Structure 1
Amino acid sequence: MSGSAAERGEDMRRRGDARGRALLDALLEGRSEPDLAARAASGLGLPERGRYVVAVLGAAGCGPAAVAMEADGLRFFRRRRGDRETVVVALGDRDPAAAAALLARWCPGPGGIGPVAEGLAGLGAARRLAEVALLTCPPGTSEVVRLEERLPAALVASQPELSARLVTDVFGPLLALDPADRALLVRTFEAWLECEGSAGRAAGRLYCHRNTVLNRLRRLERLTSRSLTRPRELIEMMLALDAFRLTAPQP
């Protein structure tokens, strides 16, 4: 008798878990059914108006096998969606950077994390923006990135036709160069940007003379017909660089 009651209890628990997961999937898909968020909160034991982030990973296989788990004061719910894995993180009062750090440690990447959703009803929008963040990861990389850190690249990645046009219009002459020559100019431009426009610091990073950096940048300006000293043209070149990174094969 007791064994039968235990089996019935276990069956009810499994069905309750399945209902909770189905409701979570509906939220991630952005459905607008009446009381959906409230029912999901009850089924999953989560606050309806809590703080959440959603991560979308380019490949399944994130960390331990459990669908739901807790770590460092955070609760994680994993869902497989096609060839990707979606992870919902209940933050509580924690900073989203804590969730990003754990996911980067557990997951092979690449992955994108959307902005904080203030309530379960916002999971659908958070998931869509996490997918945009994932698009900012160049081919062959394994990083897990937050959308807030990649907004310009996200703008470029979310408009692939305009992105391709930007690369052609701005970097067209650069694309005609020998690959090694092109890579040298691109890496010099990247280093100069990373060093906040300091040719001297970029030279130290590239193990060359400051004048070498300046000569390469001047050549880049000639090839693109744009000046690094004109803000609008510099913005075009930076966005074109983001677009180029997202489409260029990795060495």
Structure 2
Amino acid sequence: MRRGTRYGALLGPLLAGGATPDLVTRAARGLGLPERGRYAVVVLGTPVPDAAVAEGPDVDGARWWWGTAEGGSPGEVEAREGGREVAVVLLGPAGPARAAARLRELGAGPGGVSPVVGSLAELGAARRLAGTALLTCEPGSREIVRLDERLPAALLVSRPELSTRLLAEVFGPLLTLVPAERSLLVETLEAWLECGGSVGRAAARLGCHRNTVFNRLRRLERLTARSLSRPRELVDLVLALDVLRLSSAPP
């Protein structure tokens, strides 16, 4: 992994997007990178750990170049003050999943990892997608997430005005409850979803009787006017739950 003013100056125009072919060629030569290859971009919301910028490839053969991205989309700027730590990764055989795992091992995070792109000229688009992935991390978490794992949530954070409307429309009555009561219903819904819709397994996870879970879910259905047994209405509930998860306020 490499870092320095020289690397940042060469990476900056590529990460900003719209670099001319001549600039891409000069940057490739200066960085020692092929113009075409399997690349991903990482955007971190906190300073990169010192261990992440050690020289040389990692165990997967991936090569890393670190810089700092200034600016970004309005959503990114609001969510992350100042410059963000950004890495361009020439991927090894294991691909972006291994790159994400490597960052977790180093204690980095929160962070977003872009999909794979095929050339240095596409790094600007990859940086924007990695920044969107970062915005799907829960506030205060140390998550490292790949965009392809968070596409529904990425759609939500990309359109904050629609996310706000969705939350109000679906969970409006739920949000009027006292915090403890609201948290109990949200926790039960999360457990039920994580248990594949099994009331029995959710009850075991929550340490309560299955009838208690059933009654909480029925109450949530009444409050939201949506049924967990109707797929389209279940989608509304799951997306609203994602918006609530990503908000700075506790459930």
Verify: 1:75 aligned to 2:63, yes or no: yes
The CA RMSD measured in Å over matched residues stands at 1.8
Contact conserved, 1:51 with 1:93, CA < 8 A, in 2? Answer: no
Contact conserved, 1:63 with 1:107, CA < 8 A, in 2? Answer: no
CA shift for structure 1 position 249: 2.6
Q: Deviations over 1:85-116 (max 9, x none)?
A: 00111104332111101112224311111101
- The corresponding residue for 1:7 is none
Give the secondary structure class of the aligned counterpart of 2:238. Answer: helix
CA shift for structure 1 position 121: 1.1
Distance 1:95 1:220 in 2: 41
Verify: 1:55 aligned to 2:42, yes or no: yes
- The corresponding residue for 2:116 is 116
Runs of 4+ aligned residues of structure 1 deviating over 6 Å after TM superposition are none
CA shift for structure 1 position 23: 2.6
| Larger deviation, residues 58-67 vs 212-221 | 58-67
| Larger deviation, residues 197-206 vs 241-250 | 241-250
- The corresponding residue for 2:232 is 232
Contact conserved, 2:43 with 2:87, CA < 8 A, in 1? Answer: yes
Q: Which has the higher contact order (CA 8 A, sep 6+)?
A: 2
Contact conserved, 1:113 with 1:146, CA < 8 A, in 2? Answer: yes
Percent of residue pairs identical: 61
Verify: 1:31 aligned to 2:18, yes or no: yes
Distance 1:144 1:129 in 2: 14
Q: Deviations over 1:3-54 (max 9, x none)?
A: xxxxxxxxxxxxxx85554231111000231333222221111111111111
Distance 1:186 1:65 in 2: 37
| Larger deviation, residues 236-245 vs 98-107 | 98-107
Give the structure-2-normalised TM-score. Answer: 0.88
Give the structure-1-normalised TM-score. Answer: 0.88
Distance 1:242 1:65 in 2: 30
Q: Counterpart of 2:24 in structure 1: which amino acid?
A: A
Q: Gaps spanning 5+ residues in structure 2: where?
A: 70-81
Among residues 5, 20, 30, which one is paired with 1:43 in the alignment? 30
Contact conserved, 2:170 with 2:236, CA < 8 A, in 1? Answer: yes
- The corresponding residue for 1:211 is 211
Give the secondary structure class of the aligned counterpart of 1:234. Answer: helix
Contact conserved, 1:139 with 1:250, CA < 8 A, in 2? Answer: no
Give the secondary structure class of the aligned counterpart of 2:64. Answer: strand
Closer, same or farther: CA 87–115 of 1 in aligned 2, 3 Å: same
Mapping of 1:11-160 within 5 angstroms? 20-64=7-51, 66=53, 69-72=56-59, 73-81=61-69, 82-160=82-160
- The corresponding residue for 2:198 is 198
Contact conserved, 1:195 with 1:201, CA < 8 A, in 2? Answer: yes
Contact conserved, 1:49 with 1:118, CA < 8 A, in 2? Answer: yes
Q: Counterpart of 2:87 in structure 1: which amino acid?
A: V
Distance 1:214 1:19 in 2: 60
Closer, same or farther: CA 164–38 of 1 in aligned 2, 3 Å: same
Q: Deviations over 1:119-139 (max 9, x none)?
A: 111111110000000110111
Q: Counterpart of 1:50 in structure 2: which amino acid?
A: G
